[in-house]
Structure 1
Amino acid sequence: MKTLIIGLLTVVSMNYSFAQENKTNTVVPGYTKAEQEVIQLSKDKWQWMADKNVDRLTALFNDKSVFVHMGGSWGKEQEVNVIKSSSIWYKKADIHEVSINIIDHTAILLNKITLLAEVGGNEVTNPFIVTEVYIRQKGKWTLGSLSFTKQLGPQ
C-alpha cells in the first residue's frame, strides 16, 4: 500500500512539474499564430538571457542586431560578450504586458517588464518598456533590435 501511494504521488508530482515547464507555451487568445510564435520566442529569450545561454542567443540575434541600454548601445558581438562575462546578468524579467504588431516580415513587440539584473556586481530592479524588433528571413525569426526604456513614476 505504501509503495502504491508513493508511486501515485511521484506520478502526480511529475505531471505537475511537466505542466509547470510548459506553462509559457500557452495559446494567447486574440493573437495570430505568427504573433504567438514571436511572443513565445521573446519569453524564451528572457529565459536564455537569465540562463546565460549564449549559444541560443547567438543563433537568435541577427548579425546586424543592435541593443540599446541605459548605459549605451552596441551590436550582437558585444551583447553576447556582456552576457557571457556577466557584465549584465539578466536574472529575471517579470512580464506585465505584451503587445505585438507584425508588418510584412517584421514583428515589433513591446514588453512592459520589471527586470531584476546584476550590473557590475550590484543587483538592481528596474521597470522597463522593452522594444523588440524581429525579422523573418528564410522562415526563421531573428532579433534585430532590443531597446530598454526605463519607466519613470508610478507603475
Structure 2
Amino acid sequence: MKKIILGLFLAIAGTQWSAAQNSTADQEIIKLSREKWRWMADKNVAVLDSLFDEKSMFVHMGGSWGKQRELETIKSGGIWYKKADIHEVSVKVINNTAILLNRIDLLAVVGGNEVTNPFMVTEIYVKQNGNWKLGVLSFTRLLTPSGR
C-alpha cells in the first residue's frame, strides 16, 4: 500500500514539474509578445530589428511582406500599432518553436485613419542560440468583435 501511495505521489509530482517547465517557456513567450506590441506602438524599430528573424514574414489585411518592409512600415507610420487590447492568449511550444495565438482588438492608424479591428494574431517564434526570434506575424480579421 505504501508503495502505491509513494508511486502516485511521485507520478503527480513529476506531472506538476513537467507542466511547470512548459509554463515557464509559455510565460517567456507571452511576455515577449506583450513587449513586442509595446515596441510596435512605440515604433521602436531598433529593438524589433533584433527580434524579427531575417527571413520573417508578416501577413496583413492588405498583403504580406518580409522583415525590412515591416520595419519600414512601422518606422514611417504607414501602420501605427497604437494599442493591442489582448483578450486571450494561448501558446504551444514544440521543441524550439513556439506558436502563440492572441485574440485582440487592435487600435491602429493606417493611411492616416484611426481604426479598430478584431484580430486573431498568429505569432511563430523560433529559439536560436538561446534567444527567441519572431518568424511569422499574421493577422486574421475576425467577423465579430472580440467575443463581445
TM interval, short-chain normalised: 0.7 to 0.9
Q: What is aligned with 1:151?
A: 142
Contact 2:98 2:126 in 1 (8 A): yes
Q: What is aligned with 2:8?
A: none
Matched residues, number: 127
Q: 112, 117, 140: which is aligned to 2:108?
A: 117
1:94 maps onto 2:82 in alignment? no
Q: Which amino acid aligns with 2:101?
A: L
CA distance in 2, matches of 1:148, 1:44: 17
The aligned runs of 1:1-155 (5 Å cut-off) are 32-154=23-145, 155=147
SS at match of 1:52: coil
SS at match of 1:56: helix
Q: Using the TM superposition, give the Cα deviation of residue 71 of structure 1 relative to its aligned residue in structure 2, in angstroms.
A: 0.1
CA-based RMSD: 1.3
Q: Which amino acid aligns with 2:51?
A: L
Q: Which amino acid aligns with 1:114?
A: D
CA distance in 2, matches of 1:81, 1:131: 21
Residues 107-151 of structure 1: per-residue CA shift (max 9 Å, x gap): 000000000000000000000000000000100000000000000
TM-score calculated relative to the size of structure 1: 0.80
Q: Using the TM superposition, give the Cα deviation of residue 32 of structure 1 relative to its aligned residue in structure 2, in angstroms.
A: 1.4
Q: Deviating runs (4+, > 4 A) in structure 1?
A: none
TM-score calculated relative to the size of structure 2: 0.83
Q: Which amino acid aligns with 2:28?
A: E
CA distance in 1, matches of 2:133, 2:26: 14
Q: Using the TM superposition, give the Cα deviation of residue 153 of structure 1 relative to its aligned residue in structure 2, in angstroms.
A: 2.6
SS at match of 2:144: coil
Residues 35-90 of structure 1: per-residue CA shift (max 9 Å, x gap): 10110000000000000000010000000000000000000000000000000000
CA distance in 2, matches of 1:39, 1:66: 20
- Identical positions, percent: 65
